[in-house]
Structure formats: structure tokens, C-alpha cells
């Protein structure tokens, strides 16, 4: 990567890229000088630090303080790669811990602009244990319901990636940045370099978006608006006629539920189960992308399961409605949902729950993927985790079935007592074709089986599964 690349900008240049004219107020932690040549007495370490300070104008490899990105105040920390490769030593740990504590004290989101080569060898285990300090500080911030956003620059490797970077709630990357736990000098000689790039990490579901420098400030502003922190008083109150029932939280002034999306097709209610299935499987029926585009003014996708996989048929993220209401979304796209999709969904729901943001789920799947690869990838455990995330959510979860509701693979993402259906949808314990096969009925009886399953929208309403049929 060229030295003048935006991904290789200095710490202060990167901060200025985001804060612009709003400015940045630097903070410094209390001074705790190192012994001569550091805790290991590493010969020449002091001289190396002096050269790094002279070259960069910085006292350490991290700069931190408060600033405003767009219209949102936050705590920013930025690594200066020119200072000993942005490495982490004890004084770096002091600054990182102080930055997290500043965010905690002021109840502000933390924005980390990461460029690091890892832990500082000249300080040995003292340097390595700074990762535990960062993990503890991040955990305290998470417990306080405050969001953490990381922007990974070039390079982001080692412990800095495995804590400040990959440990954030949302991970954005600059194009072409080297990103990975193993740095270029310690990975296998025959390793595929793409796997250690921002683009490769995005493909593997470890990075949420690769964002060009010119779009970074606006993207971060949207994320700060969506993630908060929010209080109940901050949240716009949706039209009560559009809200789906009472919030699930116990408090009377709890967060409002997400407004119910409008149906995007005007089909009549089906007369038979077979008609209901045909309408839901109509290739011209509106899909999740159309619903999300109609529902949100701004969409901010979360990408991947953080376990090395993605499911293109399951869309997750946060969005801002035109009225300013932030809502998390999980949307099936009409394909069998894979284990990576359920893991991504559970991640999204738990993050929304921690930050106090209502959740909208859109159901549209013939069922969970049932091939051998899905089983090897832990389909059962992933589905169970999605069920658990919905069941444990303290924020309101609203569900709209927009197409096929195929068995447990669909039910895993449905809100108990707050599920609604469109006229061109169905929900069934099993697909009628499979039900007929299990019952040893001929294919000619599939339609009759569909009727017996009572899977039509009006059946679901009568059975008490659906709260309403959305028109």
C-alpha cells in the first residue's frame, strides 16, 4: 500500500477526516514514566522511542479525546502507525484504557481508528497483557449499553485487531488495508494475501463494510445516529395506529416497538391453502429488499457471522426511518437460511437489545438449509441460538411474514405474540409437499394437505399465531 494512501494517513489526519471543522479535543492520561529502556531494559528502546516521537510528533502510538462526527459527539482513539508501527506497550495501554473510561464516564460511543502491528516486543509480556486491559475496558463499555465502532486502516494486525478492531460492535475497513491477526512477517509464506485484506475479511464475514475514505465520515455519522446511546425520551414515538401492539419490556414508558411495514402487494386473501402457497411462492412477489427500501431512509448492513461465513439470503443491520427512529432488522430473502444467517441474526438482535433499539424481522424462507454442509456448519446450534436471542430480547421485536414461513427455520426469527402476516404469505409446521410425503399421500393430495395444515393468513389469525393481516 503506498505511503500516501488514505489508509496510511496519520492518526491526526484520520481524525480530521472524520471530525472536519467540528474539531477534536485531545486528552492525556496521568503520566507513569517507564524505567530506562522500558520494563525489560531493552537496549536502545529509549532511543527508538525518541526517534519515533521526533518523526511523528507524538508521545505514544495512540491519540485519544473527544470530538464530533457529523452531528454526533463521541470519544475517538486513533493509532499512529508511524510510532513504532502503532504497537501496544504499557503507555499505549494507559491511553486505550483512559479512552474507554472517558467514553464510559461521559456516556459517549467509542470510535476507534485502528492501525497497528501488534504488541511491542521491547516490552515483552508487559506489552502483551495490555490486550487484557483493553478487553476488560471494552466489556465495561458494552455492559453500560454504549456502542463501539472500529475503522480498520492499513495495517491492522495482531492483538490490536483481535481486541480494539474485531472486538467492536461494528467493523468498517478502508479499501486495500491489510487486516488480520497474523502480520505479513509471521504468516505462512504460501498464505493467500487476499485472506489478510479488508476485502478478504469482508468476504469471510469478519468486516461489516469496506468504505472508501470519501464516504467514511457520512457512514460513521449514520452509524452513530443509529446506535446511540439512546434514551426512551430520545426515541421518536411512532404513530400509535402503526405500532404493533404493546412493547415487550415491562416498563410503561419503555421503548416503542418498530412500526409495522406496509404490505407491498394488493392481492386478495387466498381461498385455499394451495392458493396461499402459490401466492407466497410467486417469483414476482415483493421480497425483503423491496420492504427494507420502503421502510428505511438509511440502511446500515451488518455483514457475516464472525465465524468465517456469510449467508446472502439473510440481511441484517440497522436502519434509520424518515422519522429518525432507529430500528434493527433481520430479513430473510426467500431462500433456505444457512447457519451463518442464523448466527448473524442472533448477533444483530443481541446488539440491538444491548443498545435499546427495537427489532424488525421479515420472514420469508422455505425453511432452514438442510444439506450436509449446513449440518457440518452447525445448523441446529445456530437455529437454537436465534430462538434464544429472540426469546431473551428485552426490546420490542416485531415480525412481518412477507412470503413463505417454512417450519422452525422461519419460526426461529418470529416474535412470540407480535407476528403479523401479509395476504401473500403462509406459515406452516412443514411444507405441504413434505407433509404429504411423510403421511404417505400421493402428490395429488398436496392441495388437500395444505388446506388441512391451515396455513393461510386468515387461518393464522384465527389460530392466534398472527396478530393481524397487513394490507
HEC string for 185-221: CCCCCCCCHHHHEHHHHHHCCCCCEECCHHHHHHHHH
Helix axes 90-106, 130-143, angle to 10 degrees: 10
| Alpha-carbon dihedral angle through residues 363, 367, 372, 376, given to the nearest 10 degrees | 40
Spatial CB neighbours of 471, under 8 Å, sequence gap ≥ 6: 262, 263, 266, 423
| Whole-angstrom distance, CA of residue 162 vs CA of residue 119 | 11
Helix (H) or strand (E) holding 92: helix 90-106
pLDDT for 185 equals 80
| Alpha-carbon dihedral angle through residues 103, 104, 108, 111, given to the nearest 10 degrees | 40
pLDDT tens, position by position, for the chain (471 residues)? 444 455 589 999 999 999 997 789 999 998 889 999 999 999 999 999 999 999 999 999 999 999 999 999 999 999 999 999 999 999 999 999 999 999 999 999 999 999 999 999 999 999 999 999 999 999 999 999 999 999 999 999 999 999 999 999 999 999 999 999 988 888 888 888 899 999 999 999 999 999 999 999 999 999 999 999 876 555 555 543 343 333 333 333 467 899 999 999 988 999 999 999 999 999 999 999 999 999 999 999 999 999 999 999 999 999 999 999 999 999 999 999 999 999 999 999 999 999 999 999 999 999 999 999 999 999 999 999 999 999 999 999 999 999 999 999 999 999 999 999 999 999 999 888 888 888 888 888 888 889 999 999 999 999 999 999 998
Radius of gyration from C-alpha coordinates of the chain? 25
pTM comes to 0.92
| Whole-angstrom distance, CA of residue 171 vs CA of residue 392 | 25
pLDDT for 113 equals 98
67 closest CA partner among 10, 126, 113, 22:
22
* Count, residues in the chain: 471
Instruction: Give the per-residue SS3 of 270-291.
Output: CCCHHHHHHHHCCCCCCCHHHH
360 closest CA partner among 372, 370, 375, 345:
345
| Whole-angstrom distance, CA of residue 345 vs CA of residue 358 | 14
pLDDT for 7 equals 57
| Whole-angstrom distance, CA of residue 304 vs CA of residue 206 | 6
Would you give the DSSP letter of residue 52? H
Amino acid at each position: 500500500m503506498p505511503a500516501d494512501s488514505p489508509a496510511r494517513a496519520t492518526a491526526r489526519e484520520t481524525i480530521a477526516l472524520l471530525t472536519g471543522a467540528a474539531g477534536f479535543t485531545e486528552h492525556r492520561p496521568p503520566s507513569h514514566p517507564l524505567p530506562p529502556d522500558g520494563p525489560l531494559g531493552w537496549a536502545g528502546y529509549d532511543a527508538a522511542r525518541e526517534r519515533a516521537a521526533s518523526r511523528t510528533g507524538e508521545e505514544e502510538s495512540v491519540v485519544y479525546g473527544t470530538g464530533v462526527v457529523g452531528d454526533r459527539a463521541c470519544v475517538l482513539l486513533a493509532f499512529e502507525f508511524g510510532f513504532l508501527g502503532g504497537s501496544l506497550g504499557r503507555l499505549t495501554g494507559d491511553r486505550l484504557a483512559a479512552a474507554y473510561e472517558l467514553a464510559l464516564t461521559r456516556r459517549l460511543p467509542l470510535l476507534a481508528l485502528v492501525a497497528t502491528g501488534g504488541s511491542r516486543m521491547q516490552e515483552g509480556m508487559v506489552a502483551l497483557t495490555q490486550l487484557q486491559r483493553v478487553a476488560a475496558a471494552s466489556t465495561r463499555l458494552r455492559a453500560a449499553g454504549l456502542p463501539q465502532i472500529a475503522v480498520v486502516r492499513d495495517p491492522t494486525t495482531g492483538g490490536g485487531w483481535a481486541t480494539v478492531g474485531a472486538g467492536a460492535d461494528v467493523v468498517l475497513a478502508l479499501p486495500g488495508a491489510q487486516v488480520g491477526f497474523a502480520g505479513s512477517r509471521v504468516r505462512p509464506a504460501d498464505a493467500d494475501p487476499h485472506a489478510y485484506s479488508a476485502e478478504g475479511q469482508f468476504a469471510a464475514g469478519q468486516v461489516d463494510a469496506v468504505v472508501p475514505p470519501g464516504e467514511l465520515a457520512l457512514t460513521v455519522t449514520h452509524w452513530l445516529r443509529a446506535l446511540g446511546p439512546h434514551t426512551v425520551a430520545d426515541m421518536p414515538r411512532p404513530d400509535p395506529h402503526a405500532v404493533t401492539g404493546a412493547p415487550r419490556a415491562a416498563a410503561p414508558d419503555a421503548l416503542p416497538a418498530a412500526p409495522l411495514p406496509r404490505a407491498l402487494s394488493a392481492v386478495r386473501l387466498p381461498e385455499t391453502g394451495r392458493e396461499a402457497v402459490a401466492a407466497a411462492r410467486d417469483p414476482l412477489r415483493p421480497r425483503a429488499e423491496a420492504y427494507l427500501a420502503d421502510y428505511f431512509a438509511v440502511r446500515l448492513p451488518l455483514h457475516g457471522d464472525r465465524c468465517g461465513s456469510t449467508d446472502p439470503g439473510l440481511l441484517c443491520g440497522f436502519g434509520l426511518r424518515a422519522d429518525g427512529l432507529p430500528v434493527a432488522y433481520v430479513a430473510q430473502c426467500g431462500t433456505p437460511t444457512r447457519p451463518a444467517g442464523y448466527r448473524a441474526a442472533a448477533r444483530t438482535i443481541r446488539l440491538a437489545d444491548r443498545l435499546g433499539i427495537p427489532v424488525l424481522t421479515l420472514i420469508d424462507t422455505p425453511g432452514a438449509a438442510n444439506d450436509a454442509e449446513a449440518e457440518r456448519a452447525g445448523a441446529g446450534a445456530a437455529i437454537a441460538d436465534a430462538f434464544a436471542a429472540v426469546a431473551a430480547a428485552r426490546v420490542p421485536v416485531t415480525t412481518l411474514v412477507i412470503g413463505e414461513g417454512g417450519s422452525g427455520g422461519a419460526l426461529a426469527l418470529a416474535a412470540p405474540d407480535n407476528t403479523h402476516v401479509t395476504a401473500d404469505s403462509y406459515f406452516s409446521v412443514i411444507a405441504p409437499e413434505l407433509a404429504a410425503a411423510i403421511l404417505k399421500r400421493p402428490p395429488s393430495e398436496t392441495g388437500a394437505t395444505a388446506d388441512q395444515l391451515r396455513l393461510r393468513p386468515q387461518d393464522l389469525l384465527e389460530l392466534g399465531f398472527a396478530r393481524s393481516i397487513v394490507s
